[in-house]
Amino acid sequence: MKNVIGTIVLVLIHLLASGQDLLDELDKVAKPKKAFAAATFKSTRIINGHSVETIARNHLDFRIAHRFGMLNDGAYNFFGLDQATMRMSFEYGVTDKLMLGFGRSTSQKAFDYFAKYKIVRQSSANGGIPVSITAFGAIDAISLNTSPQFKFYNNMERLTYVGQLLIARKFGERLSMQLSPTFIHRNKVETSADPNDIFALGLGGRIKISKRTSFNAEYFYRLPFSLEKGLQPNPAYHNSLSLGFDIETGGHVFQLHFTNSPGMIERQFITQTEGQWGKGDVHYGFNISRTFSFDKKKKYEK
């Protein structure tokens, strides 16, 4: 009797072993893949400030951004839409981690150049990293003619340097948050009460409303100290707050937003925001981004 049971058990085991599913065999062969968090943000900008995203290798991002006048300009100025400042830029992915960009703003006739590098990427696999970290550096130059109000004695005085560390985490499919410690050094400031160096902390995030749209928010807090003793960030300027939506359609990303900062480069929106939300000094604006691929290798024929 015992033997019979033993045999049956053995036969069953055998059946189980040989009836082993082909799919299980495949699971053994398939290599586990390290999954990086993809698309923490839809664009290289949250609103004004940079996000942890960079442009892919051999891809060119052509961006056009507008900020209109203030909503409290009244009906005569069509609530700000009669005037606009603009920034146009070409931004290129040198590798999947490094991107370079060049832009020109109508405001202050500023040229800006930046580099952005992905240091680490958030990954879910065992021993993964909980956040993505990207480093950002930029130089901008005011190309306005020197004037009695704001004199430039040499070209160095026109420059501003920006360094930022962008630290972001994608919490599941819908929510992403970012912290952006920022340091800005201006070679020349408007008044002697203004410090040359400004430290700021940016906080940004997005919540996806649908597959193709998300709600974004961003705030830059200027820290109340400076490297120069006794100086604080100029109280005539305010912290930048922006709210907006990202809408993607194929190769485009549209970003529509409201912000109290008309400037689109770090120095302008972090250190020189004049408007206040409480007073209705709110600008409507948008960014349009169109990406082109120059990656010939990855083109497949039918």
Partner 1 sequence: MKNKLWFLIFCLCSGAAFSQQNQWICKKGETGFFSETVIENISAQNKNVVSIIDIAKREIAVRMNLTDFKFQNHLMEEHFNENYVESEKYPVSIFKGKIQEEIDWGRNGTYDISARGALSLHGVTKDMLLKGKVSISNGQIVLLSNMDIVLKEFNIEVPSLLITKVSEVITVKNKMIYVQK
Contact assessment for residue 100 and residue 122, using Cβ atoms and an 8 Å cutoff? no
What is the end-to-end Cα distance of the chain in Å, rounded? 65
Give the residue, chosen from 5, 30, 126, 278, that forms a contact with partner 1 under the rule CB under 8 A.
Answer: 30
Q: Is 6 in the site for partner 1 (CB under 8 A)?
A: yes
Quick one: which segment of 150-158, 178-186, 223-231, 288-296 binds partner 1 (CB under 8 A)? 288-296
CB 139 within 8 A of CB 160: yes
Nearer to partner 1, 7 or 72 (CB): 7
Of the pair 30, 75, the CB lying nearest partner 1 is at 30
Residues 81-110 that bind partner 1 (CB under 8 A): 93
The one among 69, 83, 195, 212 contacting partner 1 by CB under 8 A? 212
Q: Is 302 in the site for partner 1 (CB under 8 A)?
A: yes
Residue 218 to residue 71: CA distance in whole angstroms: 19
Interface segment toward partner 1; rule CB under 8 A; list 27-35, 180-188, 196-204, 226-234: 27-35
Q: Which is nearer to partner 1, 39 or 236 (CB)?
A: 39
Nearer to partner 1, 151 or 302 (CB): 302
CA distance 207 to 13: 51
What beta strand segments (E) does the chain contain?
59-70, 84-93, 98-105, 110-120, 132-142, 159-171, 175-186, 197-208, 213-222, 240-249, 252-259, 283-293
Out of 90, 251, 274, 279, which residue is the one contacting partner 1 (CB under 8 A)? 251
The footprint of partner 1 on residues 40-79 (CB under 8 A) is 55-57, 59
- Using CB under 8 A as the binding rule, whether residue 13 contacts partner 1 is answered as yes
Site pattern 121..160 for partner 1 (x: CB under 8 A): ----------------------------------------
C-alpha distances (whole Å) from 221 to each of 139, 162, 227, 283 are 21, 15, 17, 19
Q: What is the 3-state secondary structure (H, E, C) of 40-104?
A: CCCCCECCCCECCCCCCCCEEEEEEEEEEEEHHHCHHHHHHCCCEEEEEEEEEECCCCEEEEEEE
Q: How far is CA 87 from CA 21, 90, 152, in A?
A: 59, 10, 23
167: amino acid identity, one letter: I
User: Footprint of partner 1 on this chain (CB under 8 A)?
Assistant: 3, 6-7, 10, 13-14, 17-18, 21-23, 25-27, 29-31, 33, 35, 38-39, 55-57, 59, 93, 173, 211-212, 248-251, 291, 293, 295, 298-302
